[in-house]
Structure 1
């Protein structure tokens, strides 16, 4: 019989359950917590957008003088309104998705599961999906864009069964 792993995740936590026999209770085999999930927002986002280097100097770029500002903009240097392409929270979620993906790849190589069900918060599901190895993606029999990390094993199993039944019904139509 094939072993199915059920991953229930969000940006801060991933619970991994194993189902070898549908008549037996799910077995929780891993509870991963993002190290950043334990940190306060201020601890993650320590760099504030503030004055640029040499901000009050007449000689350096980034100065308050009109010529310095124009030079600063032409050089592509960050201005006071600079916003990074990725927030610290998004970066931490990405790192956690990579960690989960590596764990799944290692477990698959060890032959610990043959099928996979992933249930994750909508934002995190996209991040996780992008880091899953090409050998893992074909093993996914269901993706659910809901966060069930706080559900117990029985509630999670019921939710997954409902989603699988809905998926089957949609295929028959």
Structure 2
């Protein structure tokens, strides 16, 4: 019988447990930590203006060119390097979700698990779901909108059974 993996995650940590027999204790497979989630704001942000800042450059919005006209007006975007605003925390969470997805995909291809039970914090669940491969999404049998990363294996099992009972 192939194992079922149980993963609980938030933007800073993901813990993965294996369950091959419901009568046996859960075995921790992996404990992934997002180092960027533990950095201070001063280490992730800068007050320096980037290339898309609205400075007094004729190459950016608000430049000194002809009033009411930007040289990139016909392009449909402020300039070629424009990117939507993403906070450093959102960027770090997305990068971590991609790392988790890569790990799960490799483990699934190696046949280390057949099914996945996913429990993640509300803030991180959407980001994680958006970055998981289709093969991993199809392996998810249950999904819970809760963060149990600080629970031990026995507490995790009890909390997931309680959540499952509520949803039935």
TM score, norm. by length of structure 2? 0.81
- Aligned partner of 2:117 in structure 1 is 117
Number of matched pairs = 160
Q: Which residues of structure 2 form unaligned runs of 5+?
A: none
CA radius of gyration, larger in: 1
Residue pair 1:93, 1:127 contacting (<8 A) in 2 also:
yes
Q: Measure how far apart 1:155 and its partner are.
A: 0.8
Separation in 2 of the partners of 1:5 and 1:96? Answer: 19
The alignment partner of 2:134 has SS state of coil
8 Å CA contact 2:37, 2:89 repeated in 1? no
**TM-superposition CA deviations, 1:59-85 (whole Å, max 9, x none):** 88646x7x777456985659xxxx952
Deviation at 1:43, TM superposition (A): 1.2
Number of the residue aligned with 1:36: 36
Structure 1 residue ranges (4+ consecutive) displaced by more than 6 angstroms after TM superposition: none
1:54 alignment partner, one of 39, 46, 56 = 56
Q: 1:19: which partner in 2?
A: 19
Distance 1:100 1:60, change over 3 A: closer
CA contact (8 A) 1:60 1:68 kept: no
Larger relative helix fraction: 1
How many angstroms does 1:125 deviate by?
Answer: 0.4
Q: Structure 1 stretch 147-156 or stretch 33-42: which is displaced more?
A: 33-42
* 3-state SS of 2:149 partner: coil
For structure 1, the residue ranges without an aligned partner over 5 or more in a row are: none
Are the structure 2 counterparts of residues 23 and 46 from structure 1 closer, same or farther at C-alpha, using a change threshold of 3 Å? same
Say what the alpha-carbon RMSD is for the aligned residues.
2.7
Alignment of 1:1-173 (within 5 A): 1-47=1-47, 52-54=54-56, 62=62, 70-71=68-69, 75=73, 77=78, 84-167=84-167, 169=168
Q: Structure 1 length as normaliser, TM-score?
A: 0.79
